[in-house]
Amino acid sequence: MRKLRALIVDDEPFARERVRRLLAADAEVEVVGECADGFAAVAAVREHTPDLLFLDVQMPGKDGFAVLDEIAGEHAPLVIFLTAYDNYAVRAFEACALDYLLKPFDEERFEKAIARAKAQLRRAEEADTPVASLLSAQEARGANMPLERVVVKTGGRIFFLKTAEVDWIEAYGNYVRLHVGQTSYLLREPISSLEAQVDSARFLRIHRSALVNIERIREMQPMFHGQYVVILHDGTRLTLSRRYRSKLQKSLGKAF
């Protein structure tokens, strides 16, 4: 594999120096430039066409997202966001960022991000296509694929939850509560919106306020007026309303 060409963009000299120092120890990476603001970053991307862009979010004049907007449709490098703020994580992954490093990050976390970048570049070379084309193809496929991961911020921490690990989803006003074992996470997303994104073969609406992972259903017990109690493997008891009964029957391929 050829060397991965990296561009570092951060308005803090110390932050740029640290990334440069970490990369210097990697013989498979070449730093092609550094920038301290968004305007210079756009020019540098066009000049150097890097494979990998280390991009700060908050910068003078033009922030990291504005940089990505301006270079969209041109050479599209892999992007690893660098920031001291955790509230941009969801937006970063919506922008198809490869990774999101929260300052101060340690060497091990940095190396994992670089490993992901190398793997992505290797796939592009094996497919004999530019990284930008590979990312576009992945994004196009992703648009038609069910949501596989949810980014949730809670207690000053960011959690990356695989949707397959979620037991059930509870409506909570304009939010949903994701139940994973004995833990729950609050996400600012209406349940109808999340229902449209998750795998419909796995998650089914059983009530106006509940989506359930059918892999977690242990048994169902009849109630009255066509309703059922849905009991999950952990003992959680939910209500299957008459309105959503036919959808569950169709999914299971069996009437009840």
Query: DSSP class of residue 4?
Result: E
Total of domains in the chain = 2
CA distance 159 to 201: 24
* Domain limit, last residue, from 91, 108, 143: 143
Q: Find out whether 34 and 82 touch, Cβ atoms under 8 Å.
A: no
| pLDDT at residue 24 in the model | 93
Q: Which tops the pLDDT comparison, 175 or 93? A: 175
How large is the average pLDDT for residues 152-162? 79
Same domain, 155 and 136: no
Radius of gyration for the alpha carbons in the chain, expressed in angstroms and rounded: 22
How large is the average pLDDT for residues 60-71? 87
Which residues, in sequence order, are CB contacts of 230 under 8 Å at separation 6+?
206, 212, 217, 220, 237, 238, 239, 240
Q: What is the pLDDT of residues 218-228, one digit of tens each?
A: 999 988 877 89
Note the pTM of the prediction, 2 decimals: 0.57
Is 94 a residue whose pLDDT tops 80? no
Reduced to 3 states (helix: H, G, I; strand: E, B; else coil), residue 211 is strand
Q: Which tops the pLDDT comparison, 67 or 160? A: 67
| pLDDT at residue 200 in the model | 85
Same domain, 228 and 202: yes
Is 191 a residue whose pLDDT tops 80? yes
Same domain, 25 and 139: yes
Band of residue 180 on the pLDDT scale cut at 50, 70, 90: very high
Same domain, 15 and 97: yes
Q: Find out whether 73 and 29 touch, Cβ atoms under 8 Å.
A: no
Which domain range does residue 212 map to? 149-252
